[in-house]
Amino acid sequence: MVATDDLAALEARLRAVEDELAIRRLILSYGPAADAGLATLAASVWQEDGLYDWDANGAPHVGQAGVEAMLLTEPHQTLTKEGVGHIATPPLIELDGDEATALTYSQIIRLDAESGRFYLWRLSAVRWDLVREGGSWAVKRRTNRLLDNTAAGRELFGATLKELRGVDAR
């Protein structure tokens, strides 16, 4: 017979695994939906008032409507028509009850029509802040920062890891 404490611990572990899988699916669904032109589906992973902070110098897109509108803009539509792939790495997820934080790399691969070759166009550090709403996970905020000579991407990763792993993380 399984002790009540053992069963509760097992249930908690199973819920954590299920939460990580749900968050992984949510994060990894965005790129394929955006590239397929399914703007509503791609935007549906955000809270109604969630933020997509995609540019350190630009205003964030607000909520599902803002993300969907961005995906329907001419620049984004042109990217998808010319050949582009939004690729996220598997997320590093930290759960905290009904909230979670995840880190990924975001790679945007583009087709060079002249040569017929694909190349890495953008590489970003990404922080995902997520919340559980009504049993499902949603993006509260996604913050992208380029991994370039501005150091913004490295700083985003460093600050998040220190926050999640402790101030003395080295």
Residue 89 lies in a domain: yes
Domain count along the chain: 1
> pLDDT class for 132, splitting at 50, 70, 90?
very high
pLDDT of residue 119: 97
pLDDT band at 169 (very low <50, low <70, confident <90, very high): low
Mean pLDDT estimate for the chain: 94
In a domain, 129, yes or no: yes
Q: What are phi and psi of 81, to 5 degrees?
A: -70, -30
The answer to whether position 64 is within a domain reads: yes
Q: Which residue range is the domain that position 145 belongs to?
A: 4-165
The CATH number assigned to the domain holding 77 equals 3.10.450.50
Task: Count CB-CB contacts under 10 A for residue 9.
Answer: 11
Beta bridge partners of 105: 125
Give, for 8, the enclosing helix (H) or strand (E): helix 4-35
Asked if residue 38 is part of any domain, the answer here is yes
* Position 162 confidence tier, pLDDT thresholds 50, 70, 90: very high
In a domain, 170, yes or no: no
Residue 55 pLDDT: 86
- Rounded to an integer, the average pLDDT of 13-21 is 96
State residue 3's pLDDT score.
Answer: 79
Q: What is the mean pLDDT of residues 77-90?
A: 95
For the entire predicted model, the pTM comes to 0.92
Q: E strands within 113-168?
A: 117-133, 136-146
